[in-house]
Amino acid sequence: MGKRILVLMVLALAIPGVALAAKPQHPNKPGTSKAKVTYVLEGTLSNYTAASTTAAGSITIHVTHSNYHGRALKGMDLTFAISTKTTTTLNGNTTINNGARGMVKFRALKNTSGLMAALTSSTPMTALHVIDQAH
């Protein structure tokens, strides 16, 4: 009986040690990826070209209003690519006419310097959602 108790005590002490040893060690460091936010730009839309299965489309917006993140973009003319995944709300129209009021939403880095570099590069950023507000 003494040997059984001894074996049980050894097993009882060994099991928690094995369970603790099996846990992976993760450092408590904050994420290293840069924060992205959604920019919402409102203004006058022009030069709309719908995306096709073979080519990306594009749209230009003259920014007159924006959410907090895009406040530095007011007064600028920006061109965005439109992919087949870009949601386009035409509000009953078949296309977006030049001069129509509308919105463009896109995601980009939170800081202004990274955003400006992305917007001025030769490859335009892709819009997430384009909304034609003309009735």
Strand spans (E) along the chain: 36-49, 57-66, 77-82, 87-89, 100-109, 129-132
- Per-domain boundaries in the chain: 36-132
36-132 CATH = 2.40.50
SS3 label, residue 10: helix
- The string of pLDDT tens digits covering residues 20-56 is 555 566 566 666 677 889 999 999 999 999 999 999 9
- The string of pLDDT tens digits covering residues 48-94 is 999 999 999 999 999 999 999 888 899 999 999 999 999 999 888 88
Give the pLDDT of residue 7: 67
